[in-house]
Amino acid sequence: MIPVSPIRLSDLTTRIRHALQNAFAGQSFWVKADVTSYSWYAQKGIHYFDLVEKDESGGNIVARVPAVAWGPGAKQIKAFELLTGQQFRNNIHILALVSVAYHQVHGLQITLLDIDINFTIGQLEAQKQLVLTRLIHENPDSIWQEGERIITRNQQLPLPVVIQRIAVVSSGNSAGYQDFQHTLVNNSFGYTFQLDNYFTVVQGETNADVVQQRMVDIFLSNKPYDAVVIIRGGGAQTDFLLFDSYQLGRVVARFPIPVITGIGHQKNETIVDLMANTATKTPTKAAELIIAHNRAFEDKLLGLQRQTLILTQQITAAASRTLHQLQSHIVHNVRSLLETGREQLVDVKHNVQQGTQQIMFTQQQALRSISNTITAKPQVMTAGRQQQLTHTLGKLRSFSRVLLQHQQAALKQQEQLFRLMAPESIMKRGFALLYQEGKLVTSATTLKAGEQVNIQLHDGSADAIIQQKNKNDE
């Protein structure tokens, strides 16, 4: 065996460094990989991590290279976290621009120069679209698509005219819940609400089952909630991944009570937002929506109240005019009847006087004839005639008195009849005047079922609806 002259390790690493520099000098590469073994040294401003590639099963690592980011690379990581809302951490899949270097002490190393933000956002959006497609495909009875719009069974539920009893799914110590409660309770209209809190963890993709269980608890409570409100304050985009989960989206879409969301995601909508009856951007907006919904109902009631008041005033004015016209008509008719009665009474009185005078004159003539006859006959005849004359005179006086009494009684009867025939007397005995559209009804043929009529009594009036009309036999 021919002996080989040994070299120093530094000589070997120098050769490696020179070879790699010659091969990769001035070059950079876009690489898709997962981040592992991540650590951040804030004082130095350096990120240390490994970039790894896994096989299709995701269980075996087929490549691993140490990586570092500092200076411009550290700034790109900060921009990545700001724009995507996702923290740079282990187990995220990124598309990074890197350069290759070799250090004689630290060995082969990749330096991160830039990160494709759109790649990461696209990955999250692609995952969301896959979940949406699965929801639509596996739940056609409760989730379907019309054009570009997704329709759910929960969206088809009408919101109650007044939202008052609310089930709240939120984290009990979150600022978002405090904002929601403060806005709702301290509303300027004085509305009162009953809030039943179902506190849970609303962060982290693995906690979707916990939030789902709280929705099940609401359903099993059998309480007549007007709405369920799911709220969460702001945060990183990855904090909202549980609201993009399949199981929580399915529960919300199928939930039998209208769901209102205020998840605090300003940039885009989560799957839960798309499945819910009504989606708002923040917890405060969710509270304002409920207050505005109740205010709209109150405004509608106030409008109906104003319309009712105006209509009542119009009806009252019309009825007052009709009553005044009826009163004038009755007074005029009563005066006419009284005048006619007076004239008839004068005629009767005049006839009575003339009849009495005629009878008196006839009796006087007969008396004179009898007197002449008596004077011509003997005293016996005179006595008999005198007796007959006295009897006749008594009958005459009695007849005149009786006749006068009969005429006076007839006169009083006529006067009483006139009074009884007066409209006021007739209406006091239970009779009424029936008007339809301001005209006096004299026949049932003009009336129809369902029409409105006005009934005038001696001391007031009433409106009525014709329920049924019966025809009397002739």
**Strand 107-115 relative to strand 61-70: parallel, antiparallel, unpaired?**
parallel
At 192-233, the pLDDT tens digits run: 999 999 988 766 555 778 888 899 999 999 999 999 999 886
pTM of the full predicted structure?
Answer: 0.49
> 164-194: buried (b, 16+ CB within 10 Å) or exposed (e) per residue?
eebbbbbbeebebbebbbebbeebeeebebe
Question: 3-7, 37-41, 317-321, 460-464: which has the highest mean pLDDT?
Answer: 37-41
When pLDDT is cut at 50, 70 and 90, the band that residue 13 belongs to is: confident
Answer yes or no: are the C-beta atoms of 106 and 47 closer than 8 Å.
no
What is the arrangement of strands in the sheet containing 460-465, beginning at the earlier edge strand?
Answer: 439-440, 433-436, 452-457, 460-465
How large a percentage of the chain has pLDDT more than 70? 90
* Across 99-120, average pLDDT: 82
Mean pLDDT of the chain: 83
Residue with tokens 């109650």: 160
The tokens of 423 are what?
């409209």
- The predicted-structure confidence for 392-434, as pLDDT tens digits, reads as follows 888 888 888 888 888 888 888 888 877 777 777 777 777 888 8
Dump pLDDT digits (tens) for 246-281: 889 999 999 999 999 988 765 567 889 999 999 998
Q: How far apart are CA 125 and CA 270, in angstroms?
A: 10
- SS3 per-residue string spanning 238-290: HHHHHHHCHHHHHHHHHCCCCEEEECCCCCCCCHHHHHCCEEECCHHHHHHHH
Give the residue among 190, 189, 180 at the shortest CA–CA distance from 288. Answer: 180
Tokens, residue 135: 């929801």
Torsion sign (Cα): 365, 366, 367, 369: positive
DSSP readout, 194-243? Answer: EEEEEE----SGGGHHHHHHHHHHHHHTT---SEEEEE-----GGGGGGG
For the stretch 53-109, pLDDT in tens is: 877 765 678 888 899 999 898 998 888 877 766 678 887 788 898 888 887 777 888
At 374, is the pLDDT very low, low, confident or very high (cuts 50, 70, 90)? low
